[in-house]
Amino acid sequence: MATLIKNAKIAADSWQLLDRAADGSLPTVPATGDIIVPLPLWQAMAGELLARSGRLGLWLDSAEDPALVADSLEALSLIAVHFPQFTDGRGYSTARLLRERYGWKGELRAIGDIQRDQLYYLSRCGFDAFVLNDSLNAKAALSAFNDFTEAYQTSVDRPVPLFRRRAAETA
């Protein structure tokens, strides 16, 4: 079972992830419930999706440009970013752009090949929810958020870089 971590705690997951079929065709949409749809589905039938009763989330694949959803943020309750392999680091930039440039405030979920040893950097780039690979010990993984207690750079979790915070302290 995949486990959801949200705000550094194990959480129940009410969302259903809809994927394209192997042949690329779009999935059918369940009448009710909270769903996370792939970008092409949203682009093809935004009207129908908005008319449904459940909440609407959207997921971006690693090559999909977050600019494509910048105008749709108000319609969404969740955005997920897919990591086909954990070594495909495009999603880190996607997350920062969503948070820092397009102003996404809602849940930002990392899905796909997500493991304990990436949680710290993912969280610094603005993810607050993570669907961990099934085989992993989710409880032990929570400690990964505390791997480091400080960071040099500007990031979503610490928008002011260390050198400015340090200067403010000594001022």
The binding site for other proteins (CB under 8 A) comprises 86-90, 92-94, 96, 101, 115, 117, 120-122, 124-125, 137, 147-155, 159-164, 166-167
User: What's the closest the beta carbon of residue 93 comes to other proteins, in angstroms?
Assistant: 5
User: What's the closest the beta carbon of residue 145 comes to other proteins, in angstroms?
Assistant: 12
SS3 86: coil
Angstrom distance (rounded) from CA 31 to CA 99: 30
Residue with tokens 């870089």: 161
Number of Cβ atoms within 10 Å of the Cβ of 64? 19
Nearer to other proteins (CB atom), residue 32 or residue 135: 135
DSSP β-ladder status, 129-132 and 15-17: unpaired
User: What's the closest the beta carbon of residue 43 comes to other proteins, in angstroms?
Assistant: 20
Nearer to other proteins (CB atom), residue 52 or residue 90: 90
User: What's the closest the beta carbon of residue 99 comes to other proteins, in angstroms?
Assistant: 11
Nearer to other proteins (CB atom), residue 89 or residue 106: 89
Nearer to other proteins (CB atom), residue 134 or residue 150: 150
Q: Which tokens go with 97? A: 């752009």
Q: Is 102 left (phi over 0), alpha (psi -120 to 50) or beta?
A: alpha
C-alpha 50, offset from chain centre:
21
